[in-house]
């Protein structure tokens, strides 16, 4: 723009002046004729450039605007040096001069900006607003929204700050969906949404995380530690980022208890402690496990029925054998009773009764009838 401005003011005669060819052309013309259309156009362009310079100076500052004009002028003259051979030498030299001037003016821009920022007094109202926007200990603030299970939005003065709870980590719902993330967010919403909470900083932790969120413990008006409650009911893991925090011992203790009691995402029918998986994968895993459990139960029931049937058959066989033994014992007892009721004084009596020979076990058998003890009497 600077080069174009110079060119429009002096025209081609400006380059001729530099080359010491025509000094007279730079003077005022004594011709009283009205200006031509070319002169009128050049005048309007010059006025426009001046107005633009003034506006840019107001908006960006004098030095910054001047440096920008120098830069555009240098570029314009470099273009003319390439296109017009008759003024190439002058264009190259003045282009270099404007580039150097732009470089000299740029430090002044930064210095002017810093001086303006230092010199500008901060209004009393602005100072009060900044002070009110700083979170304070012991003050209760309104919860403006819930981001997820471990991050909330809190109204602090005129600003809405995101607050990341120290010492906990809940399953994700934003960038990636994890098992029990939705339940953790719902739990946080039921605990804190639109309620008054107290923020507590920890000197062992940073004031903010890498995402610009405030790092704080969060307490309800009744003194409930929100982070601790989420861990104790299985909605959050205990989480130590780099250095141990103030309540680390308590948080780890309640996490161990939640594990033992299989609460929340520790339960087999939710995430089975694996919150890294997606909710869909968790549901599928539960269905697979249920199917396997059902098949195992069916197999166990069939095996139990088979064992019961075998036991029943064995019991029936034992009863049959017992009954047969009892019957044999009864028959033997009858025989013994019958044998004991028949008595032969000698073999003559046995023969007379038609019982000889008498075999051992038969009625009437006795040792006095069987002298050789071969089991046959009166042979």
Pairing label, strands 358-359, 376-377: antiparallel
Mean pLDDT of the chain: 80
Cα 15 from Cα 181, distance rounded (Å): 74
Lowest mean pLDDT among 119-133, 207-221, 272-286: 119-133
Name the phi and psi angles at 146, rounded to 5: -120, 125
Tell me the pTM. Answer: 0.48
Give CA–CA dist 265/271, Å, rounded: 5
Q: Is 351 one of the annotated active-site residues of the chain?
A: no
Residues 81 and 11 in one domain: yes
Instruction: Kindly state whether residues 197 and 224 are assigned to the same domain.
Output: yes
Taking the C-alpha atoms of residue 146 and residue 158, their distance in angstroms, rounded to an integer, is 18
Query: Which one is catalytic: 198, 208, 213, 360?
Result: 213
The one catalytic residue in 80, 161, 164, 238 is: 164
HEC letters along 160-185: EEEEEECCEECCCCCCCCCCCHHHHH
Residues 310 and 362 in one domain: no
Catalytic residue among 161, 172, 183, 255: 172
Claim to verify: residue 184 and residue 64 sit in the same structural domain: no
Question: Containing domain of residue 57, as a range?
Answer: 2-28+36-112
pLDDT digits (tens, 9 = 90+) for 95-130: 788 777 777 766 554 555 555 555 455 556 665 666
Count of the separate structural domains present in the chain? 4
- Backbone phi and psi for residue 276, each to the nearest 5 degrees, phi listed first: -70, -25
Which of these three, 112, 142, 165, is where a domain ends? 112
Same domain (yes/no): 290, 182: no
Whether 157 is covered by a domain: the verdict is yes
Which pLDDT belongs to residue 111?
A: 54
Same domain, 244 and 148: yes
Please tell me whether residues 89 and 211 are part of one structural domain: no
In the annotation, is 110 catalytic?
Answer: no
Judge whether 213 counts as a catalytic residue.
yes
More confident residue, 288 or 338: 288
Strands (E) located in 102-150: 140-148
CB 230 within 8 A of CB 265: no
Residues 248 and 159 in one domain: yes
pLDDT band at 332 (very low <50, low <70, confident <90, very high): confident
Of 112, 145, 169, the last residue of a domain is 112
The answer on 246 and 287 residing in a single domain is no
């Amino acid at each position: 723009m600077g080069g174009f401005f110079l060119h429009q003011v002096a025209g081609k005669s400006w380059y001729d002046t530099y080359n010491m060819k025509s000094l007279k052309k730079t003077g005022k013309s004594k011709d009283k004729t009205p200006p031509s259309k070319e002169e009128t156009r050049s005048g309007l362009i010059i006025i426009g450039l001046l107005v633009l310079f003034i506006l840019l100076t107001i908006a960006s500052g004098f030095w910054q605007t001047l440096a920008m004009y120098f830069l555009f002028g240098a570029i314009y003259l470099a273009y003319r040096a390439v296109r017009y051979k008759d003024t190439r030498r002058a264009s190259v030299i003045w282009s270099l001069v404007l580039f150097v001037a732009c470089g000299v003016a740029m430090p002044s821009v930064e210095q002017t900006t810093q001086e303006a920022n230092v010199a500008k007094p901060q209004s009393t109202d602005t100072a009060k607003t900044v002070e009110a926007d700083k979170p304070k200990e012991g003050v209760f603030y309104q919860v403006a929204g819930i981001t997820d299970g471990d991050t909330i939005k809190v109204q602090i003065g005129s600003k809405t700050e995101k607050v990341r709870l120290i010492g906990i980590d809940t399953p994700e719902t934003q960038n990636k969906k994890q098992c029990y993330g939705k339940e953790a967010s719902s739990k946080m919403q039921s605990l804190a949404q639109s309620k008054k909470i107290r923020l507590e900083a920890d000197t062992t932790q940073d004031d903010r995380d890498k995402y610009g969120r405030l790092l704080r413990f969060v307490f309800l008006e009744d003194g409930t530690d929100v982070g601790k409650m989420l861990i104790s009911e299985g909605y959050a893991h205990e989480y130590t980022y780099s250095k141990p925090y103030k309540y680390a011992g308590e948080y780890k203790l309640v996490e161990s208890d939640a594990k033992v009691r299989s609460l929340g995402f520790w339960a087999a029918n939710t995430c089975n402690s694996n919150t890294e998986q997606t909710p869909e994968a968790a549901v599928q895993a539960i269905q697979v496990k249920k199917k396997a459990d059902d098949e195992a139960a069916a197999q166990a029931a069939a095996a139990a029925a088979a064992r019961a049937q075998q036991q029943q058959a064995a019991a029936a066989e034992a009863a049959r054998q017992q009954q047969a033994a009892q019957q044999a014992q009864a028959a033997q007892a009858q025989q013994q009773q019958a044998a004991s009721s028949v008595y032969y004084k000698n073999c003559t009596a046995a023969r007379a009764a038609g019982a000889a020979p008498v075999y051992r076990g038969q009625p009437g058998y006795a040792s006095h009838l069987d002298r050789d003890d071969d089991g046959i009497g009166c042979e």
